[in-house]
Amino acid sequence: MEAAAQPQPGALSWRLSSHPITLLTFLGFRISSVLIYFLGLWIIQSMIMIFIITILLLACDFYYLKNIAGRRLVGLRWWNEVDPSTGDSQWVFESLEPGTREINSTDSRFFWLALYIQPLWWILMAILAIIRLQFLWLPLVAIALALTIINTLAFSRCDKFSQAGNFAGGAFGSTNLATSLASNFVGRMFRS
Domain boundaries, the chain: 17-95+104-189
Residue 5 clears pLDDT 50, i.e. is over it: yes
- Of residues 48 and 98, more confidence is placed in 48
Confidence of residue 177 (pLDDT cuts 50, 70, 90): very low
pLDDT reported for residue 52: 93
Max CA distance (Å), the chain: 66
- Of residues 152 and 175, more confidence is placed in 152
Rounded distance, CA 17 to CA 69, Å? 12
pLDDT tens sequence across 76-130: 888 888 888 888 888 888 877 766 777 777 888 889 999 999 999 999 999 988 9
Average pLDDT on 52-72 reads 92
pLDDT reported for residue 99: 66
Angle at 65 between CA 8 and CA 153, to 5 degrees: 95
Q: What percent of the chain has pLDDT over 90?
A: 30
Q: Do residues 25 and 69 touch, judged by C-beta distance below 8 A?
A: yes
Query: Phi and psi at residue 75, in whole multiples of 5°?
Result: 70, 30
